Amino acid sequence: MDLRVRRAHALSPNQRRVRRPVKMASLRLALQSLALTIVFTTTIHAETDTRTVSQHDVEAKLHYCTTCHGLSGRGFRGYYPIPRLAGQQPEYTKNQLQAFTERRRTNTIMFSVAHVLSPAMIAALASSFQELNPKPLGGAPKDLAAAGKKIFEEGIPNSDLAPCASCHGPEAKGVEQFPRLAGQLDDYIINKLTNWSKERGQNAAEPDTSAIMVPIAHILTEPQIRAVAAYVSSLE
């Protein structure tokens, strides 16, 4: 028998109950530490640009973005799901556009879109999208929402998966560099979590917040992913 298994069996029920919250707390602390390291690194390498952009130019670019991302940035289901940007945390939006520019995140269309945006335009767009608040597009299976809510709020103790709410906030509205999930298209979330390692963190020398999600995306099963996606997509 594996040594770790023998040790686990040697523990009393009370000892095992004590160890689980300790492991969960350690995971949360590790995630928070990694997030702070990434934010600090991103800040050091961030481009500075004192130029401003006109409101006319910002509105024109917003209109261009909503051609794909849907009315008021609520998301759109076309050949493949295009994400909701409305209400998104500005810090997250800026980080992701930079990730596309630096090829740390994979998307052929967004490569072309992001690299022509100035830092000033990126900041203006990020702020503008956060102010939008259309109703969720909906369409997720409602019968999965209850199971998804439990995972989001409580995690999965048997796999030491911390609650999604610990990073994304109790209402799934995001916190700074952690994205808003409330109202996001369920099929978009399913697609991203299922293909996380193929699309995020593509440049190991330039880590970003996507690194935090690597173990989580691997732990979650497909039914669990679908349940969480159904739950958060219904939130306003």
Residue 11 lies in a domain: no
Instruction: Provide the 8-state DSSP code for 3.
Output: H
State how far the Cα of 228 lies from the Cα of 220, in Å rounded to an integer.
Answer: 10
Tell me if 150 is assigned to some domain.
yes
> In total, how many domains does the chain have?
1
Place of tokens 């940007």: 85
Q: What is the pTM of this model?
A: 0.77
Q: Is residue 103 part of a domain?
A: yes
Task: Assign 49 to helix, strand or coil.
Answer: coil
Q: Is residue 88 part of a domain?
A: yes
User: Alpha helices of the chain — where are they, by DSSP H?
Assistant: 3-10, 13-45, 55-69, 90-101, 108-114, 119-130, 145-154, 165-168, 186-194, 196-199, 210-219, 222-233
In a domain, 10, yes or no: no
| Residue-number span of the structural domain to which 66 is assigned | 19-233
For residue 73, give the nearest of 61, 86, 60, 62 by alpha carbon: 86
Residue 14 lies in a domain: no
Task: Express each pLDDT in 137-172 by its tens digit.
Answer: 999 999 999 999 999 999 998 887 889 999 999 999
- Determine, yes or no, domain membership for 1: no
**Residues 107-123 pLDDT 10s:** 999 999 999 999 999 99
CATH code where residue 30 lies: 1.10.760.10
Query: Is 3 a member of any domain?
Result: no
